[in-house]
Amino acid sequence: MNTAERPGVPGAGRACLSVPSWVIPGTCAENLRFLENKTAIRGVELLFFMYDNETRAQLDAEWESVRGFRDRFTFTAHLPETLAPEHEELVARLAPLVRHFIVHPPPENSVSRLELVRLWAKKYGPGNGDPGGGSCPSGGKAAPRFLMENTFGGLFEAALPLLGGETGLCMDTGHLLLEGKSPAAFFSRYRDRVTEIHLHGIDREAALRDGRLADHRRLRQDEAWLRELLPLLEDYGGVVNLEVFSWEEVQACMLVLKNMTPAGNTDVMRNKNISEGGN
């Protein structure tokens, strides 16, 4: 299957379907090998919620294996939640491999950490290591390489006016839902800046039972917010990341998207494997 034949995302037109680098228990390379024959999956979000000596050693050990998938997957990377100057080592290493980086807003009154994002966005911006490869075509557009994700407590809103034009946005539906906000309204307001969407639901009752977070839950077909959002994504050409952390939940999300796609929309339903994630 060549790039032009790869399926889009049901209900999301030309979007690149992505998943985290943790959908089965195991290392990053083990997850990539598991995903390799899942033809519907075109992108992988490399997770670096923290970057310590253990993480660095594991990345060293698997670096060549991970790089070996650069033509199979379009990579993005989630940087540590609390950025520090020493994390530039990770950014510099990943810059030739990943399309863009996801960052969280800095803590309140932490202008220095926001400056890090602005500095790296200029230093590692479009044309400075952007691979432009993988299975998702970039469309020739020089998209931002650093995206700020909406989080809680007003931090995103406080940081937004201070971002330079070289920084884009990552819309996280779970974070919006937990704050009682509409993902459709957020996307409509910021659509020209949203380069990646973290698409997942919430389930507060399940969180009480299993002790996991209330977000990063599978999508449900009866959710009004999802019915409102999907029509807005028909022409969206960015990354749609099903940010759930098991293959079972990924499959469930894809099946919901398939079932919610109009039967006549053949452009986004070119491959029956979308409901199964591949072989």
In Å, how far from its chain's centre is CA 21? Answer: 10
Return the closest-CA partner of residue 112 out of 92, 82, 136.
Answer: 82
Taking only the tens place, the pLDDT of each residue in 169-186 is 999 999 999 999 999 999
DSSP 41: -
Taking only the tens place, the pLDDT of each residue in 65-112 is 999 999 999 999 999 999 999 999 999 999 999 999 999 998 876 778
Let me know how long the chain is.
279
Helix extents (H) in the chain: 28-35, 53-67, 88-94, 111-123, 155-159, 173-178, 183-190, 204-210, 224-229, 247-259
Taking only the tens place, the pLDDT of each residue in 126-144 is 866 556 567 787 655 678 9
Q: Where are the domains of the chain?
A: 3-261
The CATH H-level superfamily of 3-261 is Divalent-metal-dependent TIM barrel enzymes (3.20.20.150)
Contacts of 116 (CB under 8 A, 6+ apart): 83, 84, 85, 87, 88
Read off the pTM: 0.90
